[in-house]
Amino acid sequence: MKFNIALLAGDGIGPEVTEQAIKALDAIADVYDHTFKFTKALVGACAIDATGNPLPDDTIELCKASDAVLFGAIGHPKYDNDPSAKVRPEQGLLKLRKSLGLFCNIRPVKAYERLIENSPLKKEIISGTDISIYRELTGGIYFGDKHLSEDGQVASDGCSYSVAEITRIAHLAFKEAQNRRKKLTLVDKANVLETSRLWRKTVTEIAKEYDDVELDFLFVDNAAMQMILNPSQFDVILTENLFGDIISDEASVIGGSIGLLASASVGSTVGMFEPIHGSFPQATGKNIANPLASILSAAMMLRHLDLHKEADAIENAVEKSLELGITTGDINPKKAFTTTKVGDFIADYITHPDDTN
């Protein structure tokens, strides 16, 4: 089969890591007889530098016309700590999510047994953790009305949610729970927020259609505690945009392997797949960044395109690289392979799994 992939490598280490994902996908294409056509487009700081716009119209058009979007990372220090900057890389990402209708961000958080020693948490706490976080991505306070009074004295952000917005992502999360351990936890702040009460009411209603799934509720402050005290209690977590941002980043570090965490953003049309790590400016161009999260994002993309054998092949190669210790310095500083070496290993293993065995 033939697939058109929009390649939005972005800033910092984005280009280096997506390059390794492409190698893996090219190997998949060879072995399974597919064609992936990659077309590059600009987003983030590099887009601002080139066009003044963090998300040029061309980029949106390309994504809409593609079968999937492979995303690297965005952000550059020159735009940080400047609250008054009129144009920021992040705006490109937010607009992209909105333009493509990517209302559902999915983040698997798994404690890889092989990497468990890298976790800041004790082994007995983290062991067995396997969470799938469903974060609403195009609503809430991220996209509410923003206002600064003329005299600069009062700022405001509006947060709103509709039943329709909650319903569409809730169904995706319940279906995911059905395919997993059949537990769904809604994270909200229903003791304070009106929007959270609407989430709780709507999700409780929808739960009736999924009576094999156990639904429970957790206030976001308590969730932030439970994620550390007992992360293996969670199966699927469903939450709104801002809480999802915080809780999923918190969750990402408990496994000790943030360099391995991939994510998918899906919705009405094309899906977008990206590592959860950022642009990591300090590492840019040094050939030291961990490409596994980007490679695993490519596997999530394949799964979304219904290429399950192919996704398995990538995931097996990643497992193998962990088993053999062919990893970058963030995983094992004492024996650090370069970004490209890890990428080469993955591609080779996909092509010749037996030789390397």
200 binds, among a copy of itself, ligand IPM, none (CB under 5 to 8 A by kind): a copy of itself
Q: How far apart are CA 347 and CA 306, in angstroms?
A: 20
Q: How far apart are the first and last CA of the chain?
A: 29
CA distances 91 to 56, 98, 168, 183, 249, Å, are: 11, 11, 24, 34, 19
Catalytic-labelled residue, pool 30, 157, 249, 312: 249
**Shortest distance, CB of residue 15 to ligand IPM, whole angstroms?**
18
Contact segment (CB under 6 A) with ligand IPM among 50-58, 90-98, 223-231, 304-312 equals: 90-98
Burial label, 191 (beta-carbon count in 10 A; 0-12, 13-18, 19+):
exposed
Contacts 24+ apart (CB under 8 A), 227-232: 227/251, 227/254, 228/121, 228/125, 228/254, 229/125, 230/125, 231/109, 231/111, 231/121, 231/125, 231/126, 231/129, 231/131, 232/126, 232/127, 232/128, 232/129, 232/130
Rg of the chain over all Cα atoms, to the nearest angstrom: 20
For ligand IPM, which residue of 7, 17, 73, 93 counts as binding (CB under 6 A)?
Answer: 93
* Spatial CB neighbours of 261, under 8 Å, sequence gap ≥ 6: 107, 108, 109, 252, 255, 275, 276, 277, 293, 296
Q: Has 245 been annotated as catalytic?
A: yes
Q: CB-wise, 161 or 337, nearer to a copy of itself?
A: 161
Q: Is 164 in the site for a copy of itself (CB under 8 A)?
A: yes
Amino acid identity for residue 196 in this structure: S
Q: Is 205 in the site for a copy of itself (CB under 8 A)?
A: no
For ligand IPM, which residue of 81, 153, 179, 191 counts as binding (CB under 6 A)?
Answer: 191
218, β-bridge pairs: 187
Q: Is 155 in the site for a copy of itself (CB under 8 A)?
A: yes
Q: Has 145 been annotated as catalytic?
A: no
Q: CB-wise, 60 or 141, nearer to ligand IPM?
A: 141
For a copy of itself, which residue of 36, 71, 134, 142 counts as binding (CB under 8 A)?
Answer: 142
DSSP 352: -
Burial label, 276 (beta-carbon count in 10 A; 0-12, 13-18, 19+):
buried
For a copy of itself, which residue of 33, 52, 150, 153 counts as binding (CB under 8 A)?
Answer: 153
Q: How far apart are CA 219 and CA 222, in angstroms?
A: 5
Q: CB-wise, 112 or 217, nearer to a copy of itself?
A: 217
Q: Is 250 in the site for ligand IPM (CB under 6 A)?
A: no
83 binds, among ligand IPM, a copy of itself, none (CB under 5 to 8 A by kind): a copy of itself
300 binds, among a copy of itself, ligand IPM, none (CB under 5 to 8 A by kind): none
Contact segment (CB under 6 A) with ligand IPM among 87-95, 115-123, 231-239, 281-289 equals: 87-95
Q: CB-wise, 113 or 221, nearer to a copy of itself?
A: 221
| Binding residues vs a copy of itself (CB under 8 A) | 81, 83-84, 88, 90, 94, 120-122, 125, 141-142, 144, 146-148, 152-164, 189-198, 200-201, 217, 220-222, 224-225, 227-229, 242, 245-250, 252-254, 258
* Catalytic sites, residue numbers: 142, 189, 221, 245, 249
